């Protein structure tokens, strides 16, 4: 961490900064520039807030040097993390596709979708039982009933399942049915929830918050790893910007950025990102080309009748056409799918 | 809701749209424009998603007409909501100031701050016992111990207290100690939590999410009112933008916008919004001038030693100078403070 | 265009709206919903501002139905526009790569780069002679001298050249040397400049503004087409968001969105978008996979010595490795490169 | 400037950085932290790009320490700049209000507005002759004819006038008629234009770009001062965010931030910021309370008939009610208006 002093800062103010640095357990070191003096903190600054020193008179601003995350970083683990789910390898050479409906609506709907996506090459079945909805008047999911349907469909198809968990006290029951726990974008910084899934034995897919920076996303993952659960999948699903012709703006560059700094697998959700079924295929190909380790795609047998997010769900026949394209793109960059 | 058809949409596609509208319980009505046909939905569309119809072939896009919220709106209740907390009237003629430290750190720290802010004119004491922190390595609050300290300080000073609650299962215990429950920005769309505080008898301060639109904020409040709790205070605390010289960007226009559409009291948090103590006074005056019903300000007797958010906490003596200014601005626009 | 009335709007207010609509040359048509009345405008609303009617008492808001652009749209021209530049076909089956340094620094530098990128497969040489720089103290480009160097290099290599023009009065001289005129992101809404290039016979690459919506980008292109010049290439180069680990946020979904609504060729600038050389290859592959018609990539023989944007320029040897990858991705989605 | 090395950077890589720093005319100084080494640049780094060194292998990132602007800063001139325009003092103790229509439409319209705003207390008349419009099909202003009308109205009322100039070659003619030259938001980074107004003897109002950071705004002003023209007024007019219920998001905190770092007068444009007449009064009061030196407000005698921006123009009678409120708020914070 580096404290930048005002050009007119007095020696007494600088000494005040040095003392505060010592009180925080670090060693101060001055560097005198042409116009400005900076005072560096030598020591572990990971738990400190950059702003903590800004209040001191004579300080212009404070900048972080040491990255605030650790366990998720390539410095701690240079090689890629690979997560095993019932024989499916996530984060390895093969690009893995998760697919299924936004919400579980009925056994018939889920079974039909599961068979279709499995046949086309999906390896994990997605489906929502507890749904976070912007309006209290919208369909909120089937709840436990939805989880039971997922279990039945898993039993018949053999597909492992992923579903969202929305509050700490629901983690045990959801973990009983789900192979992977999903933390939704709105809960990326729900720290009580992150702490509880950090104690779970189930892999966790952590979705990026609507306005979360990449650093904040890695810090949210750090919460889970710090709890003891190292099986975390990062998922970029679009961020909020001024553009309204897509539901969110997919930050495609986040793929190489996350792969550079972290050993965790990186997924893309093209359905949430675009919000429109007709853009899902193009964006899915882009995600694989950018180096994503996998995709999570909304597929619904009858999107017009979907109880949630129909507009961004593709039909099983579109998904069946997309999979060979994804394989071709994966091969073009030296991977499989 | 209005369905905008593609200029080349066929009659069969239009009929498909009309049938779907009827299946949703509404009546379709066509309007033929010069280049484009729109099909209007007559009926209650509040629980529908605008995107639900976008998946139908021939549809260009769908636009919402009816506002998706109801209970929070001026249409349901034209007059301002006034919330009573131990004799303090929130949302009335007087601008009310909440003040106190970001985190409760010790009884001494909180008592000292409470006495100082009370003397200067604050009516409610703020303090965090459970703290959402971006990094797992930062101070996370004193927890229950912090709540107990707040209770002791309240007993001595008579100041009602507000504190944050972060998960559904903690609502009962926090509601035992706190006079107002705060839902933090990161939890604005934590729906299980909103549902539980909707069943509480305590007033709720709902902070705007970092990237929440005003409409989403009103819908989050609608969750609480729909649960039966009508005592909700809305709080704008800065949104996330590209500007980095302040911690967030205070959306000052949200004050007149919220007052126009909703009967709920509107507060501003100048500390979170700016992230820098030296901008707090100017922004507080602006908030009162814009018509805010109150402010929630971070005050710490020794900001450099604060365990969280010291950089945005003002000292008691600065707060004591600010209060008369706020009163003068309030009078300038015909209110008291 | 649709005028949404307040639920409490009076008949006199509605009549006021109808009269204003008639005065604007359109026909009003009411649709009475369950809670709200809307008044539709029948006629050409392309030149009207949606907000123009919002001032009328009793109006809640106004929404646009007809798209405000025309000449750039697929409705006017369903088939893809193909632009010919010295035998290079832009917007056709082949993905075309433009490459070269950010700034022209010397004949040696440009010649060396040109030979290298041409050998690897680039079809157009980029280079900046007039440089928009955030700071007045940064290198501002070689100016006319730079244009002359480009002409010499073109003569030797046969590579057509693209360079930026920054003000209306410079268009004639730049058009003398350049095969394609580039309008930079900061000038996307410099209307006097758009009008002048609209009268030029040179193709124009229009870069998306830092905070321009897709609709605004298409309207900026509409200025050029309305001037008579139909040879416009749209280029997405990243938009400004809260994320700071990349220079901008590449809006990859803009590719299928623009291809859906417009017949104009769509390019991606991975260098400006990411701002970091190490992310350029991943993002370039993604752009081709998403369906971009071409790329414009910064290549510099010695990025550390570059007078501008060195951090985002890749070396010729990296470019030479990237081209075969781009070809493989293009083939995977059924194109060539 | 500070170069942050990767934790695994080699000594050879560090030496490479040091050599590059020396080649740039600065002196390198190492600081060895617990995990990371930083290399500081001692010398004038104002013209350097922080990213210039990021390309070097082993570098993680580069951070700026010295502020990139100089002439606009309080370090060069600690006291406030005061600009004199025909006896009106801008940037002094009195808050100054500019008012008038968005566009000059006729002599009658401008004269009527001028008399009304002058009577209510406006000191400068605004009016657009050249209008930047998003759509080529919208009204583009009266041009020279509009300038002549402004001159006539000025002659009759004695009110100095401000109007926008959109391209370098138009500066001489606009400067002939206008007392203050306005650079619009879309042209904030139109550097050829900034350079030409930097040579003008007329004061310049520089509006913040839609997605310009405060630092970029100060650098744009630096261009004008570096050209020799020190009479610059900064104007915050709302930035682009995800919020759509207002036209832009007014960054009210920019007022104290700009006043802290720069000696230039700071204005607010509440009309452009909110885009809705009904929010203009509340936001104007907020701006004065936040410490703005002035306001520029759109006033139109008949907003429904306005050829541009009618929805955000207030009527003369509303303006007449607003002025005493602004005076009261100014007095509350110890100023006049």
* A-interface mutation test, from C282, C288, C314, C334, most A Cβ less than 10 A away: C282
The answer as to whether A48 is a domain residue is yes
Shortest alpha-carbon distance between residue D193 and chain B (Å): 25
pLDDT, greater one: A7 or A178: A178
Backbone φ and ψ of D205, nearest 5°: -100, 120
Strand (E) or helix (H) holding A96: strand A96-100
Least confident of B50-54, C93-97, C118-122, C167-171: B50-54
Shortest alpha-carbon distance between residue B290 and chain D (Å): 5
In this complex, do B276 and A54 lie within 8 Å of one another by their Cβ atoms? yes
Work out the average pLDDT over A60-87.
Answer: 93
Shortest alpha-carbon distance between residue C210 and chain A (Å): 11
Task: Tell whether D195 is within 8 A of chain A (Cβ).
Answer: no
- In angstroms, the CA D337 to CA D332 distance is 11
Any idea what DSSP says for residue A1?
-
Asked if residue D138 has pLDDT above 90, the reply is no
The answer as to whether C138 is a domain residue is yes
Q: Which domain holds residue C210?
A: 83-332
Q: Choose among A242, A250, A332: nearest Cβ to C329.
A: A332
**Structure confidence at residue A303 (pLDDT):** 86
**Structure confidence at residue B206 (pLDDT):** 98
Q: Choose among D32, D35, D65: nearest Cβ to A33.
A: D65
The answer as to whether D78 is a domain residue is no
- In angstroms, the CA B288 to CA D289 distance is 8
Cβ–Cβ < 8 Å for C236, C255: yes
DSSP symbols for D15-70: HHHHHHHHHTT-EEEEEE-SS-EEEEEES--TTS-GGGGTTSTTEEEEE--S-S--
Is there a single domain that holds both residue A91 and residue A37?
no
Work out the average pLDDT over D194-221.
Answer: 97
Strand (E) or helix (H) holding D121: none
The answer as to whether A72 is a domain residue is no
Q: Which residue has the tokens 């212009």?
A: A60
Task: Tell whether D289 is within 8 A of chain C (Cβ).
Answer: no
Model confidence pLDDT, tens digit, residues C17-51: 999 999 888 999 999 988 889 999 999 888 787 67
Task: Tell whether D304 is within 8 A of chain C (Cβ).
Answer: yes
User: How many beta-carbon pairs under 8 angstroms link B with C?
Assistant: 61
Confidence band (pLDDT; 50, 70, 90) for A193?
very high
Residue A86's contacts (CB-CB under 8 Å, 6 or more residues apart) are A160, A179
Is there a single domain that holds both residue C106 and residue C145?
yes
**Structure confidence at residue C237 (pLDDT):** 98
Is there a single domain that holds both residue A125 and residue A211?
yes
Shortest alpha-carbon distance between residue B275 and chain C (Å): 16
Confidence band (pLDDT; 50, 70, 90) for A194?
very high
Cβ–Cβ < 8 Å for D39, D14: yes
Work out the average pLDDT over D3-23.
Answer: 92
Q: Which among C178, C326, B303, D35 is positioned nearest to A46, based on CA atoms?
A: D35
Is there a single domain that holds both residue D10 and residue D104?
no
Shortest alpha-carbon distance between residue B271 and chain C (Å): 20
Per-residue pLDDT of chain B (337 residues; tens, 9 = 90+): 899 999 889 999 999 999 999 988 899 999 998 888 999 999 988 878 767 788 888 998 898 888 889 999 998 999 999 999 999 999 999 999 999 999 999 999 999 999 999 999 999 999 999 988 888 888 888 999 999 999 999 999 999 999 999 999 999 999 999 999 999 999 999 999 999 999 999 999 999 999 999 999 999 999 999 999 999 999 999 999 999 999 999 999 999 999 999 999 999 999 999 999 999 999 999 999 999 999 999 999 988 877 777 788 999 999 999 999 999 999 999 999 9
Establish whether this prediction's ipTM goes over 0.90. Answer: yes
C210 contacts in D (CB within 8 Å)? 209-211
Cβ–Cβ < 8 Å for B297, B121: no
Cβ–Cβ < 8 Å for A118, A320: no
Least confident of A177-191, A272-286, B40-54, D32-46: B40-54
* C-interface mutation test, from D51, D55, D58, D133, most C Cβ less than 10 A away: D55
Asked if residue A317 has pLDDT above 90, the reply is yes
Any idea what DSSP says for residue A271?
H
Is there a single domain that holds both residue A293 and residue A257?
yes
Any idea what DSSP says for residue B308?
S
**Structure confidence at residue A142 (pLDDT):** 92
**Structure confidence at residue B139 (pLDDT):** 80
**Structure confidence at residue D100 (pLDDT):** 97
Residue B38's contacts (CB-CB under 8 Å, 6 or more residues apart) are B2, B3, B4, B5, B30, B31, C2, C40, C65
Tokens of A225: 């790893």
CATH code for the domain in which residue A19 is found: 3.30.70.1140
Model confidence pLDDT, tens digit, residues C237-274: 999 999 999 999 999 999 999 999 999 999 999 999 99
**Structure confidence at residue D273 (pLDDT):** 96
**Structure confidence at residue A314 (pLDDT):** 94
DSSP symbols for D72-119: TBTTT--SPP-EEETTEEESSSB-EEEEE-SB---HHHHHHHHHHHHH
Task: Tell whether C43 is within 8 A of chain D (Cβ).
Answer: no
Backbone φ and ψ of C29, nearest 5°: -140, 120
Q: Which of A34, A63, A92 is the last residue of a domain?
A: A63
Least confident of A206-220, D121-135, D192-206: D121-135
Is there a single domain that holds both residue C139 and residue C198?
yes
Residue A12's Cβ-count burial label (10 Å; 0-12, 13-18, 19+) is: exposed
Three-class SS state of D295: strand
Of all residues in chain C, the one with the smallest CA distance to D275 is C51
In this complex, do D329 and B325 lie within 8 Å of one another by their Cβ atoms? no
Asked if residue C52 has pLDDT above 80, the reply is no
Cβ–Cβ < 8 Å for A90, A82: yes
Confidence band (pLDDT; 50, 70, 90) for C308?
confident
Task: Tell whether B143 is within 8 A of chain C (Cβ).
Answer: no
The answer as to whether B11 is a domain residue is yes
Task: Tell whether B336 is within 8 A of chain C (Cβ).
Answer: no
- In angstroms, the CA C251 to CA C328 distance is 23
Is there a single domain that holds both residue B196 and residue B118?
yes
Backbone φ and ψ of D214, nearest 5°: -60, -40
Shortest alpha-carbon distance between residue B332 and chain D (Å): 5
Is there a single domain that holds both residue B232 and residue B121?
yes
The answer as to whether C283 is a domain residue is yes
Q: Which among C105, C150, C138, C140 is positioned nearest to C306, based on CA atoms?
A: C105
Asked if residue D204 has pLDDT above 90, the reply is yes
Confidence band (pLDDT; 50, 70, 90) for D54?
confident
- In angstroms, the CA A285 to CA A321 distance is 12
Q: Choose among C241, C244, C289: nearest Cβ to A239.
A: C241
In this complex, do C31 and B29 lie within 8 Å of one another by their Cβ atoms? yes
**Structure confidence at residue A308 (pLDDT):** 75
Q: Which among C167, C159, C173, C237 is positioned nearest to C202, based on CA atoms?
A: C173
In this complex, do A2 and D75 lie within 8 Å of one another by their Cβ atoms? no
Residue D242's contacts (CB-CB under 8 Å, 6 or more residues apart) are A240, A241, A242, B211, B213, B239
Q: Which among D236, A56, D310 is positioned nearest to B286, based on CA atoms?
A: D236
D242 contacts in A (CB within 8 Å)? 240-242
The answer as to whether D72 is a domain residue is no
Residues belonging to chain C: 337
Express as a percent the part of chain D with pLDDT over 90: 82
- In angstroms, the CA D111 to CA B13 distance is 54
Model confidence pLDDT, tens digit, residues A134-169: 888 888 889 999 999 999 999 999 999 999 999 999
Of all residues in chain C, the one with the smallest CA distance to D50 is C311
Average pLDDT, chain C: 94
Is there a single domain that holds both residue C104 and residue C36?
no
**Structure confidence at residue D88 (pLDDT):** 97
Task: Tell whether B245 is within 8 A of chain C (Cβ).
Answer: no
Work out the average pLDDT over C82-99.
Answer: 97
Is there a single domain that holds both residue C49 and residue C192?
no
Task: Tell whether B262 is within 8 A of chain A (Cβ).
Answer: no
Model confidence pLDDT, tens digit, residues A88-126: 999 999 999 999 999 999 999 999 999 999 999 999 999
D44 contacts in A (CB within 8 Å)? 34
Confidence band (pLDDT; 50, 70, 90) for C163?
very high
Q: Torsion angle of alpha carbons A242, A248, A253, A258, nearest 10°?
A: 120
Q: Choose among B4, B35, B65: nearest Cβ to C33.
A: B65
Is there a single domain that holds both residue B234 and residue B293?
yes
Would you put residue C66 in left (φ > 0), alpha (ψ -120 to 50) or beta? Answer: beta
Cβ–Cβ < 8 Å for B102, B308: yes
- In angstroms, the CA B68 to CA B45 distance is 8
In this complex, do D310 and C52 lie within 8 Å of one another by their Cβ atoms? yes
**Structure confidence at residue D305 (pLDDT):** 79
Q: Which of B34, B63, B92 is the last residue of a domain?
A: B63
- In angstroms, the CA A61 to CA A63 distance is 7
Parallel, antiparallel or unpaired: strands B161-164 and A27-32: unpaired
Task: Tell whether D24 is within 8 A of chain A (Cβ).
Answer: no
Would you put residue B13 in left (φ > 0), alpha (ψ -120 to 50) or beta? Answer: alpha
Three-class SS state of D138: coil
The answer as to whether C74 is a domain residue is no
Task: Tell whether B290 is within 8 A of chain D (Cβ).
Answer: yes
Shortest alpha-carbon distance between residue B255 and chain D (Å): 9
Of all residues in chain A, the one with the smallest CA distance to D239 is A242
Express as a percent the part of chain A with pLDDT over 90: 82
C190 contacts in D (CB within 8 Å)? 166-167, 186-187, 190
Of all residues in chain B, the one with the smallest CA distance to C260 is B60
In this complex, do C51 and D312 lie within 8 Å of one another by their Cβ atoms? yes
**Structure confidence at residue B54 (pLDDT):** 84
CATH code for the domain in which residue D213 is found: 3.20.20.70
Would you put residue D40 in left (φ > 0), alpha (ψ -120 to 50) or beta? Answer: beta
Is there a single domain that holds both residue C163 and residue C237?
yes
Q: Which among C331, C321, C298 is positioned nearest to C98, based on CA atoms?
A: C298
Shortest alpha-carbon distance between residue C312 and chain A (Å): 13
Q: Which of D14, D33, D63 is the last residue of a domain?
A: D63
**Structure confidence at residue B68 (pLDDT):** 87
Strand (E) or helix (H) holding D126: strand D124-126
- Angle among Cα C294, C299, C303 to the nearest 5 degrees reads 155
Model confidence pLDDT, tens digit, residues A26-62: 999 999 988 889 999 999 888 787 677 888 889 988 9
- In angstroms, the CA C234 to CA C90 distance is 11
**Structure confidence at residue C67 (pLDDT):** 86
- In angstroms, the CA D96 to CA D295 distance is 7
Q: pTM above the 0.90 mark?
A: yes
**Structure confidence at residue C306 (pLDDT):** 79
In this complex, do C35 and B66 lie within 8 Å of one another by their Cβ atoms? yes
Q: How many domains does chain B have?
A: 2
Residues belonging to chain B: 337
């Amino acid at each position: 961490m580096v404290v930048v002093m005002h050009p007119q800062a007095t020696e007494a103010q600088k000494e005040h900064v040095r003392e505060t640095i010592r009180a925080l357990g670090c060693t101060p070191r001055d560097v005198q520039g042409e116009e400005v003096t900076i005072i560096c903190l030598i020591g572990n600054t990971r738990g400190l807030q950059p702003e903590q020193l800004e209040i001191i008179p004579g300080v212009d601003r404070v900048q972080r040097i040491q990255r605030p995350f650790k366990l998720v970083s390539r410095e701690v683990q240079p090689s890629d993390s690979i997560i095993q789910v019932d024989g499916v390898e996530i984060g390895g050479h093969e690009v893995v596709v998760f697919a299924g409906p936004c919400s579980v609506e009925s056994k018939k709907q889920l079974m039909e979708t599961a068979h279709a996506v499995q046949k086309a090459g999906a390896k994990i079945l997605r489906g929502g039982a507890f749904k976070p909805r912007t309006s209290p008047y919208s369909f909120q999911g089937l709840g436990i009933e939805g989880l039971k349907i997922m279990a039945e469909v898993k039993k018949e198809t053999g597909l492992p399942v992923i579903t969202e968990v929305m509050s700490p006290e629901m983690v045990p029951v959801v973990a009983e049915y789900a192979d992977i726990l999903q933390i939704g974008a709105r809960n990326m910084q729900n720290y009580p929830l992150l702490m509880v899934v950090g104690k779970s034995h189930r892999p966790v897919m952590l979705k990026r918050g609507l306005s979360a920076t990449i650093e904040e996303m890695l810090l949210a993952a750090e919460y889970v790893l710090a709890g003891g659960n190292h099986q975390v999948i990062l998922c970029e699903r679009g961020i909020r910007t001024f553009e309204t012709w897509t539901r969110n703006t997919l930050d495609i560059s986040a793929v190489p950025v996350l792969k550079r700094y972290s050993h965790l697998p990186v997924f893309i959700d093209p359905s949430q990102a675009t919000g429109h079924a007709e853009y899902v295929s193009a964006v899915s190909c882009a995600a694989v080309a950018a180096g994503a380790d996998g995709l999570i795609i909304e597929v619904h047998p009858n999107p017009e009748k979907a109880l949630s997010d129909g507009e961004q769900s593709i039909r099983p026949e579109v998904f069946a056409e997309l999979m060979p394209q994804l394989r071709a793109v994966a091969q073009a960059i030296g991977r499989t799918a």
